[in-house]
Amino acid sequence: MFNGKKFTVDPVSVGMGRSKREKFELLLEGLMDDLYRYAYWVCRDRVQAEELVQETYLRAWKAIGSLRDADSAKSWLFTICRREYARQFERKRLQMQDVEDIGELPGAKVAFDTSTEAFVLRRALATLSDDYRDPLVLQVLGGFSCEEIAGVLGISSSAVMTRLFRARKQMRELLTDDESDSRCVTEVRA
Amino acid sequence: MNCLEFRRICLSDPYTSAADFAAHRLECHECTRFVDSVTAFDKKLLDAMQVPVPEDLATRVKLRQVIGEEHARRVRPWQWALAASIFVSVALGGFLGLQVYSTNLYIAQLQASVIDHVNNEPDFISVQGKVPSDKFARVMAAFGAEVVNKDIESLIAHAYVCVMDKRPIAHIFAGNGGQVTVLYVTGKRIGAETPFKDDSHQGVLIPAGGGNLVVIAPKGEQIEPLVTKLKQSIRWSI
Ligand SMILES: [Zn+2]
Ligand SMILES: [Zn+2]
């Protein structure tokens, strides 16, 4: 029997600095789940979300030398993803899912909340315009500050504040219109 | 800061650490309740945002990156120079003989790796039931192949990205009960379809895309219908 290693090249170990690979592994292990979910909520399509994640990491690998500060790694990665989405947007928009499909994610496995309230929230979130949903997902799911969101989206902090305010206001309006689930929303008593 | 301003900020940045926001929060019960309700709502929203992440996505990200690097390496100038110098020396030393020799060596080594891989596939991999409808296509897509005839999915029991000789490969269980194994191995593409067998297995190597497709089954198992179907159903872009 021949020794396979003699004739094949391990592509992972050739010509790459260890630290570059380590950085990449950390970006992958620590941030991929959040990045996938962000990508999903940006495009609301599982297949496209996967493509976005793939493309984001491919670009991240090429540009990883420019990443020096560990604290900014997450917003750096999300920014790459957001730009990639903008690039693909026109090409892919016709394939986007209908809002009604959002609650029925095929292939769902454990720990996926299918309760009515989560369904209603997902539906409401999907109904928001992209401009409002995007900063809200970055804040609630990504845990980013308004300044970081401004960086990812390439808009001013005050524009981010305005969009977040309108996003939450719209969510409340959408959910209070739906009498069956008005408990999702707390009333504003000014 | 008055209550109206406070609530406006609540809806845009309830997590702010601004001093005047914190100060109003301390002195105003109504607004404390309001900001708590906003953050409680955010928690529910966060739960609702937790869509399931595909389980093999990290592997496929690594695979894509590895393939991307290989692709980039192919065009490095020094490699052309090296390839050219090898070609010259090979030409001097008797080109045909050496090429046949190295190809036979590669085929023998590939067969050995494949049989070894099939014999050592862990038991925990379940071969029951049908592959999720798009899983086969997604695995093949990671290797630059497009499934153009979805009928073949009825013959696939399981498909995933596996590792052989430290390289990512597509590993597919096919046929009734998954007795036929199909592997896609990137690397040197062999010249022609090559059948092979050992005491307990029979199979065939088929050049495809940027590598070779391997179909292998226990001795006596029919593989021709699956081979025909595979050829009709997969299109290679690399
Ligand atoms: Zn107040
Ligand atoms: Zn395997």
Give the residue, A159 or B209, on which the prediction is more confident: A159
Q: Based on the domain organization, do A142 and A184 belong to the same domain?
A: yes
Where do we find the tokens 């209550």? B3
Whether the CA torsion B24, B28, B31, B35 is positive or negative: it is: positive
pLDDT tens for each residue of A66-82: 887 778 899 999 999 99
Q: Where are the beta strands (DSSP E) in chain A?
A: none
Instruction: Give the integer Cα–Cα distance in Å for A36 and A33.
Output: 5
Contact A134, A39 (CB under 8 A): no
In a domain, A150, yes or no: yes
Instruction: Give the integer Cα–Cα distance in Å for A137 and B48.
Output: 11
Instruction: Give the integer Cα–Cα distance in Å for B145 and B152.
Output: 14
- The H helix count followed by the E strand count for chain A is 7, 0
Alpha carbons within 13 angstroms on the beta-carbon side of residue A46 total: 18
In a domain, A22, yes or no: yes
pLDDT tens for each residue of B7-40: 999 999 999 999 999 999 999 999 999 999 999 9
Tokens of B60: 């496929």
Last residue of a domain, one of A58, A92, A126: A92
Q: Based on the domain organization, do A135 and A186 belong to the same domain?
A: yes
Q: Based on the domain organization, do A82 and A122 belong to the same domain?
A: no
User: Quick one: which of A11, A19, A24 has its CA closest to A60?
Assistant: A24
Q: Is the pLDDT of residue B72 over 60?
A: no
Supply the CATH number for residue A175's domain. 1.10.10.10
E strand or H helix that includes residue B21: helix B19-27
In a domain, A44, yes or no: yes
Most confident option among A148-157, B64-73, B197-206, B209-218: A148-157
Q: Which listed ligand is nearest to B164 at the C-alpha?
A: 2
- 3-state DSSP call for residue B142? coil
Q: Based on the domain organization, do A78 and A124 belong to the same domain?
A: no
In a domain, A59, yes or no: yes
In a domain, A30, yes or no: yes
| pLDDT at residue A83, as a whole number | 92
Domains of chain B are 123-236 (3.30.200)
pLDDT tens for each residue of A28-57: 988 999 999 999 999 888 888 988 999 999
Residue in A32, A58, A107 closest to B58 by CB: A32
Chain B residue closest in CA terms to A61:
B65
In a domain, A5, yes or no: no
Q: Based on the domain organization, do A32 and A78 belong to the same domain?
A: yes
User: Quick one: which of B225, B132, B217 has its CA closest to B182?
Assistant: B217
Instruction: Give the integer Cα–Cα distance in Å for B38 and A33.
Output: 25
In a domain, A64, yes or no: yes
Tokens of A169: 């206001």
Chain A residue closest in CA terms to B166:
A10
User: Quick one: which of B168, B138, B143, B169 has its CA closest to B153?
Assistant: B138
pLDDT band (50, 70, 90) for residue B77: very low
Q: How far away is chain B from the Cα of A182, in angstroms, using its nearest Cα?
A: 12
Neighbours of B83 (CB within 10 A): 10
In a domain, A109, yes or no: no
- 3-state DSSP call for residue B146? strand
Is B12 in contact with A41 (Cβ distance < 8 A)? no
Range of the domain at A85: 16-92
Q: Is the pLDDT of residue A11 over 50?
A: no
Q: Based on the domain organization, do A79 and A146 belong to the same domain?
A: no
Q: Based on the domain organization, do A140 and A187 belong to the same domain?
A: yes
- 3-state DSSP call for residue B56? coil
User: Quick one: which of B172, B154, B179 has its CA closest to B214?
Assistant: B172
Q: Is the pLDDT of residue A17 over 60?
A: no
| pLDDT at residue A185, as a whole number | 37
E strand or H helix that includes residue B44: helix B29-49
Q: How far away is chain A from the Cα of B171, in angstroms, using its nearest Cα?
A: 18
Instruction: Give the integer Cα–Cα distance in Å for B147 and B232.
Output: 9
Q: Which listed ligand is nearest to B122 at the C-alpha?
A: 2
Instruction: Give the integer Cα–Cα distance in Å for B121 and B179.
Output: 12
| pLDDT at residue A127, as a whole number | 83
| pLDDT at residue B106, as a whole number | 86
Supply the CATH number for residue A32's domain. 1.10.1740.10
Ligand 2 centroid to Cα of residue B73, in Å, is 26
Number of domains in chain A: 2
Ligand 2 centroid to Cα of residue A23, in Å, is 28
Instruction: Give the integer Cα–Cα distance in Å for B124 and A147.
Output: 47
Contact B158, B172 (CB under 8 A): yes
Residue in B49, B57, B165 closest to A4 by CB: B165
What residues of chain A lie within 8 A of the CB of B21, using their CB? none
Instruction: Give the integer Cα–Cα distance in Å for B49 and B204.
Output: 47
Q: Based on the domain organization, do A131 and A80 belong to the same domain?
A: no
Rounded to a whole number of angstroms, the CA Rg of chain A reads 20
What is the number of CB-based contacts under 8 A between chain A and chain B?
Answer: 154
Last residue of a domain, one of A38, A58, A92: A92
Q: Based on the domain organization, do A186 and A135 belong to the same domain?
A: yes
Instruction: Give the integer Cα–Cα distance in Å for A112 and A105.
Output: 10
* pTM of the model as a whole: 0.53
